[in-house]
A and B are shown apart, each in its own frame.
Chain A
Amino acid sequence: KQEVTQIPAALSVPEGENLVLNCSFTDSAIYNLQWFRQDPGKGLTSLLLIQSSQREQTSGRLNASLDKSSGRSTLYIAASQPGDSATYLCAVYTNTGFQKLVFGTGTRLLVSP
């Protein structure tokens, strides 16, 4: 059974810092991996999708890497801003022939001005 773990559970940083969020998964036989952002009480906003053949994806100040062999992904946020405060969720597409996502419990990020 695929399990996804995110560390740390919560993170508080001052504005301007670069930071790394970690995601690990137990079964390396995955398809894609996706990072989401969730604001309190809201739905999910997709940040980055890393396809199984890729090792990283970049969008603006965000960079996500994927190492399937070690079961790890990282989300790097450069020059953090207060508007980045949210919960960040990592999810993997299981290799079962179905487009099913298994989510971690998220990292709650607070960026202080």
Chain B
Amino acid sequence: DAGVTQSPTHLIKTRGQQVTLRCSPKSGHDTVSWYQQALGQGPQFIFQYYEEEERQRGNFPDRFSGHQFPNYSSELNVNALLLGDSALYLCASSLLGQTYEQYFGPGTRLTVT
């Protein structure tokens, strides 16, 4: 049973560019959440997708957007990259309505230069 997968593993971008990160949820899961973890900090909630719609959003600007596909996989897009966007981006999947438990992927390390 495949767990949560994310791609790419690492990414280096320049300020002002745009980036797309991808996530495939654990088999059987229908909800995907994204978190940003800056160095030395705990992960911060970005947003959550269910049935291809954004259900809840954390305190992140509109430069951060997402999408969920019919197969439940998801993308996180960040426009106009800033140096402060450098972080580990974590994807978590879960099954809505079931025991509250999220399963995390290995993350994508984004470096903005």
1/0 contact string of A27-43 vs chain B (CB within 8 Å): 00001101010000111
**B contact residues around A22 at 8 Å (CB):** none
B94 to chain A, nearest CB (A): 5
Contact (Cβ within 8 A) B100 A43: no
Contact (Cβ within 8 A) B43 A101: yes
Q: B102 in the interface, Cβ–Cβ < 8 Å?
A: yes
Q: A89 in the interface, Cβ–Cβ < 8 Å?
A: yes
Interface residues on B, range: 20 to 34
Contact (Cβ within 8 A) A102 B100: no
Please, how many residues of chain A have a CB less than 8 angstroms from a CB on the other chain?
A: 25
Q: A105 in the interface, Cβ–Cβ < 8 Å?
A: yes
Task: Choose from A41, A98, A103 the contact partner of B56 (Cβ within 8 Å).
Answer: A98
Contact (Cβ within 8 A) B101 A102: no
**A contact residues around B41 at 8 Å (CB):** 105
Contact (Cβ within 8 A) A32 B101: yes
In the complex, which residue of chain B has the Cβ closest to the Cβ of A42? B106
**A contact residues around B48 at 8 Å (CB):** 98-100
Q: B107 in the interface, Cβ–Cβ < 8 Å?
A: yes
1/0 contact string of A69-113 vs chain B (CB within 8 Å): 000000000000000000001010100101111111110000000
A51 to B58: give the CA distance in the assembly, Å. Answer: 24
B6 to chain A, nearest CB (A): 8
B interface residues with partner A (beta carbon < 8 Å): 31, 33, 35, 40-45, 48, 55-56, 58, 88, 90, 92, 94, 96, 99-107, 109
